[in-house]
Chain A
Amino acid sequence: MSNLIARWWDGDVAYSFRRSPTAIVAAVVGLVCVFCAVFAPWVAPHNPLDLTTLELSDARLPPFWMEGGSTKYWLGTDDQGRDILSALMYGARISLVVGLASVLLSVLVGVALGLIAGFRGGWVDGFLMRVCDVMLSFPAILIALLVAGVARAKFPDAGASVAFGVLIIAIALTGWVQYARTVRGSTMVERGKEYVQAARVTGVAPWRIMLKHVLPNVLGPVMVLATIQVATAIITEATLSFLGVGVPPTSPSLGTLIRVGNDYLFSGEWWITIFPGVMLVLIALSVNLLGDWLRDALNPRLQ
Chain B
Amino acid sequence: MGAFILRRLLQAIVVMVSVGFIAFLLFQYVGDPVLILLGQDATQEQIRQLRADLGLDQPFFVQFWHFLLNAAQGEFGLSLRQGAKVSRLLGERFPATFELALVAAVLALVIGIPMGVYAALRRGSFLSQVFMTVSLLGVSLPTFLIGILLILIFSVWLGWLPSFGRGETVQFGWWSSGLFTLDGWLHMILPALTLAIFQLTLIMRLVRAEMLEVLRTDYIKFARARGLSDRAIHFGHALKNTLVPVMTITGLQLGGLIAFAIITETVFQWPGMGLLFIQAVTFADVPVMAAYLCLIALIFVVINLIVDLLYVVVDPRLRVAKAAGH
Taking CB atoms and an 8 Å cut-off, the chain A residues in 113-156 that contact chain B are 134, 137-139, 141-142, 145-146, 148-150, 152-154, 156
- Contact of A16 with B by CB under 8 A: no
**Residue of B19, B31, B145, B282 with most chain A CB atoms under a 10 A cut-off:** B145
Contacts A268-B156, A277-B145, A284-B140 given: A145-B262 contact, CB under 8 Å?
Answer: yes
- Contact of A244 with B by CB under 8 A: yes
**Residue of A134, A142, A235, A239 with most chain B CB atoms under a 10 A cut-off:** A142
- Contact of B142 with A by CB under 8 A: yes
Give the residue name and chain of the A residue nearest to B139 (CB).
A288
Instruction: Show 18 A/B contacts (Cβ-Cβ < 8 Å), sorted by A.
Output: A142-B259, A146-B293, A148-B281, A153-B284, A154-B31, A235-B142, A238-B144, A242-B263, A243-B278, A243-B281, A244-B278, A258-B144, A258-B145, A268-B156, A270-B156, A277-B149, A281-B141, A281-B142
In the bound complex, how far is the Cα of B289 from the Cα of A149, in angstroms?
8
Q: Which residues of B contact A235 (CB under 8 A)?
A: 142
Q: Which residues of B contact A153 (CB under 8 A)?
A: 30-31, 284, 286
- Contact of B291 with A by CB under 8 A: no
- Contact of A84 with B by CB under 8 A: no
Give the residue name and chain of the B residue nearest to A235 (CB).
B142
- Contact of A273 with B by CB under 8 A: yes
Contacts A258-B144, A258-B145 given: A137-B15 contact, CB under 8 Å?
Answer: yes
Q: Which residues of A contact B148 (CB under 8 A)?
A: 258, 262, 265, 273-274, 277
Q: List 18 other contacts, CB 8 Å, given A139-B256, A265-B148.
A: A134-B18, A137-B15, A138-B296, A138-B297, A138-B300, A149-B289, A152-B281, A153-B31, A153-B284, A154-B31, A231-B140, A235-B142, A238-B142, A243-B278, A258-B145, A274-B148, A281-B145, A288-B139
Q: Which residues of B contact A138 (CB under 8 A)?
A: 259, 296-297, 300
Bin the interface of chain A by size.
Answer: 35 or more
In the bound complex, how far is the Cα of B292 from the Cα of A238, in angstroms?
23
How many positions in chain B have a CB within 8 Å of any CB in the partner chain?
41
**Is B282 within 8 A of A245, CB to CB?**
yes
- Contact of A75 with B by CB under 8 A: no
In the bound complex, how far is the Cα of B15 from the Cα of A300, in angstroms?
39
Closest CB of chain B to A92's CB: distance in Å?
A: 15
**Is A265 within 8 A of B156, CB to CB?**
yes
In the bound complex, how far is the Cα of B289 from the Cα of A152, in angstroms?
12
**Is B19 within 8 A of A134, CB to CB?**
yes
Taking CB atoms and an 8 Å cut-off, the chain A residues in 227-256 that contact chain B are 231, 235, 238-239, 242-245
- Contact of A266 with B by CB under 8 A: yes
Q: Which residues of B contact A268 (CB under 8 A)?
A: 156
- Contact of B152 with A by CB under 8 A: yes
Interface string of B3-37 (1 = CB under 8 A from A): 00000000000010011000000100011000000
Interface string of B106-146 (1 = CB under 8 A from A): 00000000000000000000000000000001011111110
In the bound complex, how far is the Cα of B262 from the Cα of A266, in angstroms?
22
Q: Which residues of A contact B266 (CB under 8 A)?
A: 242-243
**Is B256 within 8 A of A239, CB to CB?**
no
Closest CB of chain B to A246's CB: distance in Å?
A: 11
